[in-house]
Amino acid sequence: MRPENYRPVSHPPSHEYELYFGPNHPGIEGNYAIRVRLKGDEVQEAIADGGYLHRGFEKIMEERLWIQNVALVPRICVPDPVPMEECYSRAVEQLGGLEVPARAQWIRVMMLEMSRICAHLFTFGGNAATIGFYTNMFWGVSMRDLFLDLFEEITGARIYHMYITPGGVRRDLPEGLLDRLAALLDDLESRLPDFEDLFFSNTVVINRATGTGTISAEEALAWGVTGPNLRASGLPFDVRRDDPYLVYPELEFEVPTMKDGDALARMMVRKAEVLESIKILRQVIARLPHIEGPVRCPLPNPLAWNIPAGDTFARVESSKGELGFFVVSTGGAKPWRVHVRGPSQMHAVQVLERLLARGRLEDIAQIMFSLDACPPEVDR
Site for other proteins, rule CB under 8 A: 1-3, 5-9, 18, 23-26, 30-31, 35, 37, 45, 47, 51-56, 59-60, 63, 71-72, 75, 78-79, 122, 125, 137-138, 141-142, 144-145, 148, 157-160, 357, 376, 379
Q: Which is nearer to other proteins, 7 or 15 (CB)?
A: 7
Separation CA 40–CA 343 (nearest Å): 32
The CA distance from 283 to 322, in Å, is: 23
Which lies closer to other proteins via its Cβ, residue 159 or residue 206? Answer: 159
**Pick 53 or 255: Cβ nearer other proteins:** 53
Task: Report strand pairing: 168-169 vs 337-341.
Answer: unpaired
Closest approach of other proteins to the CB of residue 364, in Å? 15
Q: Between residues 42 and 250, which has the closer beta carbon with respect to other proteins?
A: 42
Q: How distant, in Å, are the alpha carbons of 2, 123, 188, 270, 290 from that of 127?
A: 43, 6, 19, 11, 40
Q: Cβ 145 to other proteins, closest distance in Å? A: 5
Half-sphere exposure of 19 (CA within 13 A, CB side): 19
Nearer to other proteins, 6 or 292 (CB): 6
- Residue 230 CB, nearest approach to other proteins (Å): 20
Closest separation in Å from C-beta 97 to other proteins: 29
Least separation in angstroms between residue 341's CB and other proteins is 20
CA angle 116, 121, 122 (to 5 degrees): 100
How open is the CA angle 201-206-210, to the nearest 5 degrees?
145
HSE-CB of 287 using CA atoms within 13 angstroms: 19
Of 29 and 260, which CB lies nearer to other proteins in the complex structure? 29
> Rounded to whole angstroms, how far apart are CA atoms 174 and 89?
22
Minimum CB–partner distance for residue 279 and other proteins (Å)? 27
Query: Using CA atoms, how far apart are residues 61 and 63, in angstroms rounded to an integer?
Result: 5
Task: Tell me the one-letter amino acid at 72.
Answer: L
CB atoms within 10 A of CB 9: 4
Instruction: State how beta strands 310-317 and 322-329 pair.
Output: antiparallel
Four-CA torsion 367, 371, 374, 380, nearest 10 degrees:
-100
CB of 376 vs other proteins, minimal distance in Å: 6
Nearer to other proteins, 54 or 259 (CB): 54
